[in-house]
Amino acid sequence: MPQTFPAAPPARERALSRSPDRTAPPASLRRRGLLAGAAALALPWAATRPARAQGTVLRIAQSTALTGPLGDLGSAMHLGAKAAFASINAQGGVQGQTIELTTLDDGYDIPRALANVDKFMADREQFALFNCMGTPMVEAMLPKVLPSGMPFFAPFTGAMLSRVKGARSVFNVRATYADEAEKLVQHFSTLGIRRIGVIYQNNTFGKEVFTAARDAMARLKLGEPLSGTVESDTSDAGAAARKLADGNPEAVLIGLAGKPALEFVKAFRPLRRGVTLYATSVMGTSATVKALGPDGVGITISQVVPLPTNVVVPIVREFQAAWKAVGATAEPSHLALEGYINARVFAQALQRAGRSPSRAAFVDATWSLRNWDLGGFEVNATGPERSASRFVELTLVGRDGRFIR
């Protein structure tokens, strides 16, 4: 028989937020049974600091790229989430429950990602899927996950394909690629740039970036973009660079991530040294920027979370404290901060769902997150077809490889 999580009685509990004396609304939400099957392989994650909670453990699952062409992206977000959950567990957890994150590496490979999700969905102890990474992977996962009712929380994609009208079990936090592309194209318009190149990954992610950029250019009457694609294995990065360079663009918008972004920029820079490069947030990892060296200087990158070194922002201060507490040696990055924020938002929804919530109660609680300020980062859940955040700002890679607002 399927396992169920008992309904929580109405209560007014301490909210997990930047203000310790803030409270969550009463947990008078709808309860339904938890749908899941038999146990499966998993790699349990434990908090770095011992948790003080004496209650049960709530297990959530993540398939992400810890290796492969986009391993630096997945690793950064995973470490940020781990830092958040460690901090939350060290303070007693949520409603007496510690949160345990089970993570499996999919190497940014669709069959591996689907195999991971099958294992998680067969494990009756896994409550939700958390921060699974990659537009192609998320697209393949959705037909499996949606019928199950398993919460699909903060998938790491800005693509509209995960923002499905009526799909209340899918909760998207980050701004969309369309939001990012719009911001970049508006910047081109302000600067009077009209001859624009768009290079994009030849997969669902890249195509969505290209479409959003092209549509924004049409609205702003900037004409048709020069365009080219790069395969995820980077085999054609050099040819793509030459194609765009031959078009003599004033600026190039890069819809690439990880190794494809690195190889394209390395090939393009010697061909058109004076052309300004722009990119979406998924390119802006510390590893990519470091690997680019001098070729990365001057690239403008849109970001969907605040600057992770800007301690004026309360959520950044809290992130940095949690980052240090787990002994992280990597530089704090936008992606690590995004993982941290996603974990904090998950914990807040869990807090609002009450003790031992059903999946249905948790899903209901996510949609109660209206105009909630996480300390400089606003979450406003208005509907499954929209992201809960519209935060986008532009940053510049400085001469020391650090981001500047």
Query: What mean pLDDT do residues 7-27 have?
Result: 35
CA angle 282, 321, 62 (to 5 degrees): 45
State the residue for tokens 């609304």.
Answer: 25
**For residue 22, what pLDDT band results from cuts at 50, 70 and 90?**
very low
Which residue did the predictor score with more confidence, 69 or 155?
A: 155
pLDDT bucket at 3, cuts 50 / 70 / 90 = very low
pTM greater than 0.85 (yes/no): no
> Using one digit for the tens of pLDDT, what is the confidence trace for 227-266?
999 999 999 999 999 999 999 999 999 999 888 999 999 9
> What is the model's pLDDT at position 258?
85
Please identify which residue in the block is written with the tokens 């190794």: 259
268 pLDDT above the threshold of 50: yes
Give pLDDT tens digits for 139-180. 999 999 999 999 999 999 999 999 999 999 999 999 999 999
Q: What is the pLDDT of residue 7?
A: 36
Mean pLDDT of the chain: 87
More confident of the two residues 331 and 168: 168
Of the pLDDT bands very low, low, confident and very high (cuts 50, 70, 90), residue 181 is very high
Report whether pLDDT(223) > 50. yes
